[in-house]
Structure formats: C-alpha cells, structure tokens
Chain A
C-alpha cells in the first residue's frame, strides 16, 4: 500500500498568512494526488485534483503542486473560512489512501 505523510500535523496562522502543507508518498504516484478540506461535523470537500488542478468553485487562493512523491498545497492568503483540517489522498492505485491530515487553526 502507498503511505502518505503530511507536514506539519498542525499549524497556527493568522488571516492573510500564506500557508503551505506538504504531502509525501511512499512511492511515486505521478500526479495522482488530491487535496480535501474538512470542517468539523462536515463531509470533506475536494479542493485540488491531479496534483494541481483547481476543482470548480474553489477559490483561486488554493493551489497545488508537485509530482512523483512530493506535493504541496498552498493557501496564498488565509481567510476565516479556511480554518479546517486538510487531507491529501493518492488516486494512483488501490487501496486509495489518505494522509493523516493537517489542522489549520487560528493563531
């Protein structure tokens, strides 16, 4: 199985800050990576697919990059509604796996 690690596990940030989250895969997955945002008590929401493609309706302050084993999710200017937990997910092979999550909270 492909393992995903995320760093940091949590980050405290202020509105307007630039936030970068890293996801590393245990083996190469080309660009088969997605990013999700989840707020407490809610279902996850797809932000980025194919490593860098912005899902329809998602604000352009979210961006993704990377390929192979190393990926990043960047929020260019953190907004109040962005405080949430973020997960990466590999879509390269079964079983699909998720990273452990990165919690973004208010400094």
Chain B
C-alpha cells in the first residue's frame, strides 16, 4: 500500500524548534519530488516547501523562508521539515504530500497529518 506517515508534531513555545518526519512506503520514494503543506485550524491549505526527487531544487513559501528547512533521506525513505523560530501563526496540521507521478506539482498521495501547536 502506498502510504505516507507524518510524526514529530506537538506543543512548542514561540521561538522554539521542532522537526517533523514523513515516512514513505509502498513506492519508490527516491523517484518522487515531495512537499509539505499545512492547514491552520479552521483555515484553508497552504503549501510550505518542495524538494525534488533529484535533490537538485528546494523551494519555500515566503512565510517560512529562513526559518524552515526541508530535507530528505532516500535511504530511509523519509522526508523531514526542520522548523525553527516558530511563531503562533505556524500552528497548523502539517501534511507531507507526494508530487503526482504523471503531472508535476499536483499532490496525489497525502499523509494523515501531524499537529503543530505554537503557544506559550
């Protein structure tokens, strides 16, 4: 079964750090570009970051640039998001999502999400 499972969310104080993980299974992880997408409580979807399969390109939303770092370990079939200098507005469910196998940048597989709460 093709699956993505996020972990690492939790409660953190403003200014703190957190590292999210996304474990992939059931497909050739190294062949796919991957993304992080978040959703604040009761709000819409916001794309956060992208990492190509070839590890050649990384992109970030302006709202997280300079604070978040995306990485991947193809040997471990895992995607990561290191989040530093966290703010209240970073509170959200964070999803990892796979780029579509046919058309780039549509997200065809999503994890169940992990909740990040930034509060004092």
Contacts and interface: CB of A to CB of B under 8 A. Distances in A.
Interface of A: 32, 34, 36, 38, 43-46, 49-50, 53, 55, 87, 89, 91-92, 94-101
A58 B52 CA distance: 27
Interface of B: 35, 37, 44-47, 50, 59-62, 95, 100, 102-108, 110-113
Contacts of B107: 34, 36, 44, 46, 89
Nearest to A38: B45
B113 A43 contact: yes
Q: Which of B100, B104, B106, B108 has the most CB of A within 10 A?
A: B106
B68 to A, nearest CB: 13
Contact of A89 (B45, B61, B62): B45
B110 A43 contact: yes
Contacts, number: 62
B46 A98 contact: yes
A49 B45 contact: no
10 closest Cβ contacts across the A-B interface? A91-B105, A49-B106, A43-B110, A34-B106, A96-B47, A98-B45, A94-B59, A50-B103, A46-B108, A49-B103
A34 B110 CA distance: 14
A95 B45 contact: no
Nearest to A101: B44
A89 B47 CA distance: 10
Contacts of B103: 49-50, 53, 91
Given A43-B95, A43-B111, A46-B100, A95 B106 contact: no
A49 B110 contact: no
A41 to B, nearest CB: 9
Nearest to A91: B105
Given A49-B100, A101-B45, 13 more contacts: A34-B107, A44-B107, A44-B110, A49-B102, A49-B108, A53-B102, A87-B44, A89-B107, A92-B105, A96-B35, A96-B50, A98-B44, A98-B47
Contacts of A100: 44
